[in-house]
Amino acid sequence: MVLGGVWEDLARQSVARLQVGGESWLPAQRWWGAGQDRRPLEFDLVARHATSSNRVLVGEAKVTARPKEVPALLQALAEKTRRCPAFQGKRLDLRLWVLEGVRQDDARVVAGAGVFGL
């Protein structure tokens, strides 16, 4: 398995044990399916909120990203979620899991050190 796949697995495993956005989430899974336009969609991690079935955490795992790339990556993720019928009517919390290049001081990012408890 390449590093990207391992990082995605670690990101998914971290969700249920971390407070992401100050909230508790159920275990995350990868999501594949067709978008409203019938084109394929994939999300690296999707998790329901621990107490609200209307809230969903959607994340993208990146091995590396620079701080200046974060807004564009989150925008692309937001655009992708709008195509997903499973997310219609849900309150979404979008996050990036980044192994290297971005520090934990960006609330929209779960940095590698945070996943490992460092």
pLDDT of residue 117: 56
Beta bridge partners, 20, equal 23
The predicted-structure confidence for 25-50, as pLDDT tens digits, reads as follows: 999 999 999 999 999 999 999 999 99
Domains (range + CATH), the chain: 3-115 (3.40.1350)
Strand pairing report for 109-111 and 91-100: parallel
pTM of the predicted structure, to 2 decimals: 0.91
Could you give the 3-state DSSP secondary structure of residue 113?
A: helix
Burial class (CB in 10 A: 0-12, 13-18, 19+), 4: middle
Structure tokens at 93: 């919390």
Average pLDDT over the chain reads 92
pLDDT of residue 105: 77
